[in-house]
């Protein structure tokens, strides 16, 4: 199975999801992207790198990219981190786009500190486990 994780800038939630999925579900192919282009080429944010490293996952070499129409049809599942990302994906023509969870995964980019990162990790990990189980 080929799975693309999508968030807003591809520096917080979706690269964390990609790293988690690659670590625990090696039999599948994963990538991540953002609906926006602000951070293209940048590594994941430090908050996501730190929580990933704390859990034994290295996402430091990932680089942000923007989702494109070339991704349509290339992925079995296109998984949005929140309802705004899902709406953007649907508007682009991704018929197979779905939410990771029944609720939005909060965007750590807007956090004042790192205290909620364990919760974000567990939300994403749980969603991936349900998605791929």
**Residues with catalytic roles:** 7, 13, 107
Q: In terms of Cα–Cα distance, which of 22, 20, 1, 7 is closest to 66?
A: 7
Q: Which residues contact 46 (CB under 8 A, 6 or more apart)?
A: none
* Nearest Cα residue to 132 out of 51, 21, 23, 54: 21
């Amino acid at each position: 199975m080929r799975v693309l994780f999508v968030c807003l800038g591809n520096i917080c939630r979706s690269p964390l999801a990609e790293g988690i999925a690659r670590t625990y579900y090696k039999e599948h192919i994963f990538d991540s992207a953002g609906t926006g282009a602000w951070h293209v080429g940048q590594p994941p944010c430090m908050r996501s790198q730190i929580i990933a490293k704390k859990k034994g996952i290295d996402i430091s070499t990932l680089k942000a990219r923007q989702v494109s129409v070339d991704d349509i049809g290339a992925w079995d599942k296109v998984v949005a981190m929140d309802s705004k990302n899902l709406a953007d994906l649907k508007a682009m023509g991704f018929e197979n786009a779905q939410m990771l969870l029944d609720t939005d995964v909060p965007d750590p980019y807007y956090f004042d500190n790192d205290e909620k990162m364990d919760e974000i990790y567990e939300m994403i990990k749980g969603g991936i486990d349900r998605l791929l189980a």
